[in-house]
Amino acid sequence: MNLPWRDDDPDDEKGGATGGDDHPDAIVACEFQDGTLAVYPDRVEIHRVGRSRFDDLTIPAEEITGVDFSKGITIGYIQIEQAGVTVDSGGLLSDPVNANTLHFGRGGRDCAIEAREEVLAHARG
């Protein structure tokens, strides 16, 4: 059942580049299920959707130590690894869930791959 307040469809094409309207100076900006990831030369910004239990976040490039990434079968994730922040590895049948993690459906995979490459290229931690 497709309810207007739910956006659970893993096949939706909503994920992907946002066109830079909200992040004109970003190298890449991706709109995912639980927020937007914007990559800049000196930082990564995560802007959460209203229903998220996490707040918006800015991670300086100096604190980025890596990226955990999975394309997933239906839902994938990208997790920014940050100095001093414990990495959430998820479980056997669950993806990680923490303030540094965003989830995407198939439509967001290409943008997530591009974002991962840019984050790693600018990480200084």
Structural domain contains residue 43: yes
Match 């739910």 to its residue by tokens.
6
Structural domain contains residue 13: no
Sheet holding 57-60, edge to edge: 16-17, 28-32, 35-40, 43-48, 57-60
Give the per-residue pLDDT at 100. Answer: 96
Q: CATH number for the domain including 115? A: 2.30.29
Structural domain contains residue 7: no
Structural domain contains residue 57: yes
Please choose, from the candidates 16, 45, 48, 36, the residue with its C-alpha nearest in 3D space to the C-alpha of residue 112. 16
75 burial via Cβ count (<10 Å: 0-12, 13-18, 19+): middle
Per-residue model confidence as pLDDT tens for the chain (125 residues): 443 444 444 444 445 555 457 899 999 999 999 999 999 999 999 999 999 999 999 999 999 999 999 998 899 999 999 998 877 766 555 567 899 999 999 999 999 999 999 999 999 87
Give the Cα separation of 81 and 64 in Å (integer). 6
Structural domain contains residue 105: yes
Structural domain range at position 28: 21-122
Give the per-residue pLDDT at 12. Answer: 45
Structural domain contains residue 9: no
Q: Structural domain tally of the chain?
A: 1
Structural domain contains residue 99: yes
